[in-house]
Amino acid sequence: MPVPVPDNEELPFSRSAHNPWGENDERFLGNDEDKRGGGFNAKSVRLVQWYPGHIARAERLLRDQLKNVDCVVEVRDLRIPLATSHPDVAAWVGSSRDNSNNNANNSSSGKLHITVLNRSDMVDEQERAKWVSYFKHKMKERHVIVTDAKSGRGVEQVKKIALSVAKEVNEKRIQKGLLARPVRTAVVGYPNVGKSALINRLVGKKACASAPRPGVTRDLRWVRVSEEIDLLDSPGVLPPRMSDQDAANRLAMANDIGEASYKASEVAARLFEEMKMLPSWRREKGNIGNVLMKRYKMSAKEVEEMNGDMFIEKIALSTCGGDFERAGAKVLNDFRGGFLGKFCLEVTPAR
């Protein structure tokens, strides 16, 4: 049940703000020939453009709520921190990320902004450090926290930083003759990046439904962490259009969009090809190429000569009875479960 906001400052709640990827969503990544059972090509993987009415409604409700919050916690998937960056976060926070001021995301005209890089358990320690450095020094993000919401790592630091605005907020309220109130913090991000799991850790109990698939959170709701802080849990919100198809496919690989939107065989084939281009494919420690070869019992020569289509075909014929979709799902589940090693699908930009 939503927590009432004190001082008669009720915010508009929705009990029907559906998630972007409902169970009736039949959208599909691929063409009609693929649907009929034709061959597939990893290079042809493309994501359909979508923006159903319920997504637009969920975002409108979220924007209304954000006008009344003090802090925005943006949760990203550390495996794909760029792909899970919503283009409208800067506007939601109320300041520009392009501002050269180090406090750009925490100016007096904006809200406190905390960037949370979740799923740290699935990424190599060296890569984690590179991404934190990138966001702090190149993107000028003041508060960047690496978390593992499942184990609770880093979660208390999120709470500590969110509470840092309490004094400023309540001093202004007292000057106006108003009572002090808890800090209002909105937790936002793409589907399945760990928003609800983070809130459950902060609250210390299962206050929000959480599961390793997109679309579990369907409503905007307030959760009281303590007398000092209220948290807004929101459905995963996707941008109306995604011009970056590489990012769109990485969302599919990481299970951050609904499975009805793509073919597992195509996305898994592309995952294989992207893995081969990563520095972690040949790194000395935690070499993901070796992990993959051991997992699927393939030789180095065999893997080196394969493209994504050939890789999925090999798995389909050897372990899945010739079923390409089962083979694709197997590879994607192995990646999502951490069985292909600890690594990011994205490399920190040079600039």
Q: Is 252 helix (H, G, I), strand (E, B) or coil?
A: helix
> Is residue 322 situated within a structural domain?
no
Mean pLDDT by 10 residues, the chain (351 residues): 41 30 37 39 53 67 88 95 92 60 46 95 95 95 94 93 89 90 91 87 63 48 86 80 84 87 93 97 92 97 96 97 97 97 95 70
Task: Quote the tokens at residue 43.
Answer: 């290079």
**Which residues span the domain enclosing 142?**
49-233
Contact 165, 143 (CB under 8 A): no
pLDDT at 47 (0 to 100): 55
Select from 115, 189, 191 the least CA-distant residue to 154. 115
pLDDT at 318 (0 to 100): 95
Q: Give backbone dihedrals phi and psi of 67, rounded to 5 degrees, phi first.
A: -65, -20
> Is residue 10 situated within a structural domain?
no
pLDDT at 213 (0 to 100): 39
**Tokens 């061959």 correspond to what residue?**
39
> Is residue 277 situated within a structural domain?
no
> Is residue 293 situated within a structural domain?
no
> Is residue 149 situated within a structural domain?
yes
> Is residue 111 situated within a structural domain?
yes
> Is residue 152 situated within a structural domain?
yes
Say how many domains are in the chain: 1
**Tokens 């002090």 correspond to what residue?**
180
The CATH number covering residue 85 comes to: 3.40.50.300
Select from 118, 129, 135 the least CA-distant residue to 76. 118
What are the C-alpha distances in Å from 114 to residues 104, 158, 263, 283? 12, 8, 34, 31
> Is residue 131 situated within a structural domain?
yes
